[in-house]
Amino acid sequence: MKATGCSPTPDHSARNYSAVQQVAEYDHETMADPLFTISSTLRAAFAVVTGLPPEEIDPVVRPSDRADAQANGALALARQLGKQPREIAEAVVATGMLAASCSVTEVAGPGFINLTFKPEFLASELADAAGDERLGVRLAGQQRTVVIDYSHPNVAKEMHVGHLRTTIIGDSLVRLLRFVGHRTILENHIGDWGRQFGMLIEHLLDLGETEGAHELSVGDLNTFYREAARKFDDNDEFKDRSRRRVVELQGGDAETLRLWHLLVDESMRYFNQVYAQLGVLLSNDDLMGESAYNDMLAMVVDRLRDQGLLQHSQGAEVVFADGFVNREGDPLPLIVRNSLGGFLYAATDLACIIDRVERLHADLLVYVVGAPQAHHLNMVFAVARMAGWLAPPVEAVHVAFGNVLGEDRKMFKSRTGDTVKLSDLLDEAVARATASVREKNPEMSPSEQAEVGEMIGIGAIKYADLSTDRLKDYVFDWERMLAFDGNTAPYLQYAHARICSIFRRADLERASLGSIVPSLAAPQERALALALLQFDTTVHDTLDKFSPHRLCTYLFELAQAFTSFYEACPVLKDGHEATRESRLALCDITARTLHQGLFLLGIEAPERM
């Protein structure tokens, strides 16, 4: 069949273009990245020269300005062996073991080995990656069961920019984890329990169930919550009713539970609309709200008591963990149950750990939670370790993130000082993007303009958030995130769309390109090939640090390498028939890498824009 643009070729089983969501069933051995390949060659060469066991040697291979790569291992080994670094480096080169893959191997400076790869070697590695559904990305060495805890909006409360960060960082991490072969369990720990539900239920009754439910389901959550809180503060009769209602809720009163369910369901209906607009993987199947752990809380306390960890302090039931002190420098306890007998969120968080480890058999717990929670989570983890619930090989990781700031570098707020509704933010992004699509493509049908505008607008918001180190605060700036130049989603999407445009013009079997070994004569072809081959390492680096911005940086550099190539290397023009197939093959794998990379960030790649 003829390829049309970037459309998937679903009947071609070897190379389905659509993004890979789950791992292939076969075991995968390709190691496309030449830096990875050369590392093992160098390790062996260093072993020959030094007589050390290969596993004790780090050849310290890095990308280089002066060559394709540089190996700095000689400098570190020189001291330990009492030799000159240059001497070792020269001996490594003299083994001849690098000759198969490198055209130039020179020792420079104090003992760096500069490496230039043979074009044939790069081309062959690239052809391997191109022929692979996973684009040469290795599976994780060890498959883990990972629980990712993220998003967690509060029932009957508006979602805002803070939820945006946890939701899309979590979503990207899920996609990355799955791609390298881990088993993922998504958990949306929604705030669906607590004292505030007394007033929320009473307010629902005051409004009338139908009217109240409507207000929630259409997303007028701010009004609902604010009105309930206002009455609670101003109206003693309402306050009394609310308090009685909390008791009934906790006591399991059927009618109260029905009303509570109504609040949860209507809120989720709204949240699911936001998730759908965002294009994230979360669904109702992933709901594990606070209330889900209610039945475990007494057990948590019992188990802590049985292990002798539970102490009474100022009327509360607490656990003291080493290393935590309060303002006065006295030991700071983790309060599991307050002096009135109520369970606190520490109890729920501990129940979560038990549930995830003992019921779900997770061996990695990922918490995508704001940085201010670091102290609390560290205490919870510490107590869980004391209790033996969190023991190797099980690990817990706090994937922390900073705040979203406005242009004034203060917490992102609307002009009136309110928190900005997430859905309003998404609507505005889509509206802005659609407007520019309409401007650039007047001939495009309105429905396609809307479709593309949504991909660009949502992609821009996500990319702006994901592309900066998650730990830092970042400044929300419409102009910058929606710009079509610079490190933005539209720039990456544009690079992808341009390649799709080439394939619309080219009359060929797209799938056949996978078996072509490209020639890498022009410097831009070489640079593009080198960039493409780093996808594998990048994906694994990104996951090692749980930092999607590493993948963003990579994709931006790849897109830049492509546009430079595209500028300098004619693909379909007359007079370039000899390089046509080779360059089309480069275009093909670039498009697939961009598409897959964006998919791993949760961003769609339109075929025209």
Closest Cα partner for 173 from 151, 142, 191, 141? 151
What minimum distance in Å lies between the beta carbon of 200 and RNA?
Answer: 13
Q: Is 80 in the site for RNA (CB under 7 A)?
A: no
Which residues, numbered 392-411, are part of the site for RNA (CB under 7 A)? Answer: 402-403, 409
Which residues, numbered 527-586, are part of the site for RNA (CB under 7 A)? Answer: 547, 549-550, 553, 556, 560, 563-564, 566-573
Choosing from 183, 239, 413, 608, the residue that interacts with RNA (CB under 7 A) is 608
- Long-range contacts, 99-105 (Cβ 8 Å, 24+): 100/41, 101/34, 101/37, 101/38, 101/41, 102/38, 104/67
Q: Per-residue contact track with RNA, 158 to 197, x per CB under 7 A?
A: ---------------------------------x--xx--
Which residues, numbered 214-253, are part of the site for RNA (CB under 7 A)? Answer: none
Comparing CB distances to RNA, the nearer of 37 and 553 is 553
Q: Is 348 in the site for RNA (CB under 7 A)?
A: yes
110 phi and psi angles, rounded to 5 deg = -75, -10
CA 245 to chain centre: 40
Comparing CB distances to RNA, the nearer of 213 and 482 is 482
Closest Cα partner for 515 from 10, 14, 9? 14
Q: Residue 109: CA atoms inside 13 Å, Cβ hemisphere, count?
A: 9
Closest Cα partner for 222 from 164, 273, 156, 268? 156
Q: Is 145 in the site for RNA (CB under 7 A)?
A: no
Choosing from 326, 416, 445, 447, the residue that interacts with RNA (CB under 7 A) is 326
Closest Cα partner for 167 from 352, 349, 368, 364? 368
For helices 548-568 and 535-544, angle between their N-to-C axes, nearest 10 degrees: 160
201 phi and psi angles, rounded to 5 deg = -65, -45
What are the tokens at 298?
């007494």
Q: What span, in angstroms and rounded, lies between the C-alpha atoms of 51 and 493?
A: 50
What is the per-residue DSSP string for 359-422? IS--SEEEEE--GGGHHHHHHHHHHHHHTTSS-TT-EEEEE----EE-TTSSB---TTSSPPPH
Which residues, numbered 421-480, are part of the site for RNA (CB under 7 A)? Answer: 436-437, 440-441, 467-469, 471-475, 477, 480
Which residues, numbered 366-385, are part of the site for RNA (CB under 7 A)? Answer: 371-376
Comparing CB distances to RNA, the nearer of 426 and 561 is 561
What minimum distance in Å lies between the beta carbon of 459 and RNA?
Answer: 12
Q: What span, in angstroms and rounded, lies between the C-alpha atoms of 237 and 331?
A: 41
Choosing from 81, 91, 332, 517, the residue that interacts with RNA (CB under 7 A) is 332
Choosing from 4, 24, 40, 66, the residue that interacts with RNA (CB under 7 A) is 66
Number of residues that bind RNA (CB under 7 A): 96
Binding segment (CB under 7 A) for RNA, from list 102-110, 164-172, 175-183, 300-308: 102-110
Binding segment (CB under 7 A) for RNA, from list 237-245, 271-279, 296-304, 313-321: 313-321
Closest Cα partner for 154 from 195, 197, 192? 192
What minimum distance in Å lies between the beta carbon of 520 and RNA?
Answer: 16
Choosing from 381, 491, 535, 599, the residue that interacts with RNA (CB under 7 A) is 491
Comparing CB distances to RNA, the nearer of 335 and 532 is 335
